[in-house]
Structure 1
Amino acid sequence: MTTSIKNPVVKLFFYTILIIWSVSVLYPLLWTLLDSLKDNKQFFLNMPWALPEMPLFWSNFSYVWSKYNFSTYFMNSIIVTVGSTGLGLLFSATTAYVLARYKFRGSNAIFLLYISSMMVPFVLALIPLFFLMNTMGLINTKIGLILVYTSSVLAFGIFVLVGFFRSLPKELEEAAIMDGASYYGTFFRVMLPLSQPGLITIAIINVLNIWNEYIVGTILVNDPEQYTLPVEIGIMQAEMQYRTEWGPLFAALLITIVPVLVMYIFFQRRIASGITAGAVK
């Protein structure tokens, strides 16, 4: 059900706010794109806010891709993001299904424990987490990053999926069991496909968060071959005080931004509808 604003003054006010907000969001992206097409001379001439001169330096993208070994960092980010998101979905879905469909002593307490963990900043666990990962020999490994990121997204996934599983009719499980399906078959063939809106929502949000994560990647990884894109961007920015390659730096930022920006544009409706559907159900 949608409502429309009939008062022209109120409508103008809201449209003005939306336009200002859109400009404030889009301008930094446009500025990054324009500065990625400049050479160092244009930055030295105090032209960081001006339009780039011709010819445009599209070579900044190929330069940063090869010179700074961005292909390796890009692949590292893909592996870590896909692995963490996949494991996070699997563990969140199985845990949420048990908590939502099976009542046992302590089930509500476990659910509240997961939810309460969302209120604790993950940064507070970095020091003991570092010593734990070091003891397990998982420092400077993609597996270590995947396990840490997976654990960090479990609470949110469980919170969303419990609402979905609780809304599904009990008769679906009973019918599947009567047809000879096992408990595993009932979950993977019946219940999990029905929770697809929630799974897609969680996957998109997790991908956005993990792809852009910087602090954990900096602490748990100091091997350049294992860096993810945000970590390498931070190192490039720190090196700018010793070398002046601002065009390639903005090109690197754009390479990092574009994949998640495109994904968000295509799936933004699913994010909103998935969270709303789980809450309403």
Structure 2
Amino acid sequence: MKRSISQILGRTGIRIPLILWSIAVLYPIFWMFVGSLKSNAEIYRNPWGFPETLNWQNYVQAWSNYNIDTSVFNSLIVTLVGTMLTLVLAIPTSYAIERLQFRGNRFLFTLYVSAMMIPMVLGWIPLFFLLMDLNLLDNIFGLAIVYAVSQLPFTIFVLTSFIGTIPRSLEESAAIDGMSPYGVLWKIITPLSMSGIITVTIMNAIQFWNEYFMALIFLQNKDNYTLALAIDFISSEAQYTNAWGTLFASLVIAIIPVIILYAIFQQRIAKGMTEGAIKG
């Protein structure tokens, strides 16, 4: 009896902080969604209450008047291109570092890991002039390249831990059957590392979708703005036009894809990170 009571108290002591933390995280999101359905008068009159009528006009104004539709498209392009480019560069590099024996492969891996500790802010000014020389400044594809390079060390670090646990006998058997090294990489190593690939893909995609500072530095034309920059513009405008409902609506538009993506793949993300930690 005493043991069961102590177990209940122990579980309660763990659950109460988690419940409180969940409320602290979810309530601002809920309040933002409720605010996106209010008129400006309702927001000022009763900021914490429910809307009297559902005002979907805020979403229409955000989508059309503030060009959120263009910004969503730009963010989608940057996220897709950046994510795919990261994988195209990281998968062969991870395989070469982990499997191929050449002078300096451990040093190269250490160099990539060390790059994870260098703040990206230190490279913003050189990158600005480099993109300007390459005529990629104020270009969403240039921004996608910067994103891909910035996440390359992290992606390689994760993928090498997965590739390192794949039995070498599978590669040797494929080589005996006449498969080329490229065939081994793309037909054997890549499918067996799919948990790690999915994990880094989703984490990189969320990072690229939400990124703000590099987009602010490398993009100048409003037609090239990503979603984060468009929301920042609406936020500055809301101070003078009282478009708070429109601001809330744009924030909801920004977070819905992230929530859906994470909800669909949360088990794969948790599984991939757990396997990566064990395999590493």
**TM-score relative to the length of structure 1:** 0.95
1:1-281 alignment, distance < 5 Å: 7-45=7-45, 47-53=46-52, 55-281=53-279
SS in 1 for 2:252: helix
Task: Supply the distance in 1 between the matched residues of 2:215 and 2:168 (Cα, whole angstroms).
Answer: 43
Amino acid at match of 2:14: F
Q: Deviations 1:86-126 (Å, cap 9, x if unpaired)? A: 11011111100000001211111110110011111111211
Structure 1 residue 50: deviation in Å?
1.8
**AA of the residue aligned to 2:24:** S
**Could you tell me which amino acid in structure 2 is paired with residue 30 of structure 1?**
F
Q: How far is the alpha carbon of 1:259 from its aligned partner? A: 0.3
Q: Tell me, in whole angstroms, the C-alpha distance in 2 between the residues paired with 1:74 and 1:89.
A: 22
2:247 and 2:171 map into 1 onto residues whose CA distance is 54
Provide the secondary structure at the position in 2 that maps to 1:7.
helix
Distance 2:235 2:60 in 1: 18
SS in 2 for 1:11: helix
Task: Please report how far the alpha carbon of residue 51 of structure 1 lies from its aligned counterpart in structure 2 after TM superposition.
Answer: 1.6
* Number of residue pairs matched by the alignment: 275
Structure 1 CA distance for aligned equivalents of residues 29 and 43 of structure 2: 18
Q: Distance in 2 between matches of 1:6 and 1:75?
A: 54
Unaligned runs of 5+ in 2: none
Please give the per-residue CA displacement for 1:51-74, whole angstroms capped at 9, x wherever unaligned: 211x21012112211111111111
C-alpha distance in 1, partners of 2:16/2:226?
39
Query: What letter is aligned with 1:274?
Result: G
The change in CA–CA distance for 1:169 and 1:6 in structure 2 (over 3 A counts) is: farther
- CA-based RMSD of the aligned residues comes to 1.2
Letter aligned with residue 118 of structure 1? M
List structure 1 runs of 4+ shifted beyond 4 angstroms: none
> TM-score, normalising length from structure 2?
0.96
Distance 1:59 1:120 in 2: 44
How far 1:279 moved relative to its partner?
Answer: 2.4
Unaligned runs of 5+ in 1: none
CA distance in 2, matches of 1:204, 1:49: 34
Contact 2:237 2:243 in 1 (8 A): no
Counterpart residue type for residue 29 of structure 2: L
Q: Which structure has the highest helix share of the two?
A: 2
Identity of aligned residues (%): 43
Q: CA deviation at 1:44?
A: 3.3
